[in-house]
Amino acid sequence: MLGIDEITASGLLVRIWIKTQPGQQWAVAREFRRRMLNVLAANGIPIGRLHQQLHLVREVNGHGGSPDASALES
């Protein structure tokens, strides 16, 4: 394990090297991630999920915000 390579607001980047047999790198990577998640969960360390909110504002007559009832009737 090389160690923590980057710390950002969205998480940590841990850089590792694992030597595998040819063609087995994907299965080994999946197993490593599975074990890592199990260790983190066992130690009460939550894994964040990306969350995004989208707020739509309808424009009436070129002005943002919520239209009043009279604007909706026209």
Is the pLDDT assigned to residue 72 strictly greater than 70? no
Q: What is the pLDDT of residue 38?
A: 94
Q: What is the pLDDT of residue 12?
A: 83
Q: What is the mean pLDDT of residues 36-42?
A: 92
The pTM of the full predicted model, rounded to 2 decimals, is: 0.56
Q: What is the pLDDT of residue 39?
A: 93
Q: Are 51 and 59 in contact (CB under 8 A)?
A: no
Tokens in use for 48? 């964040």
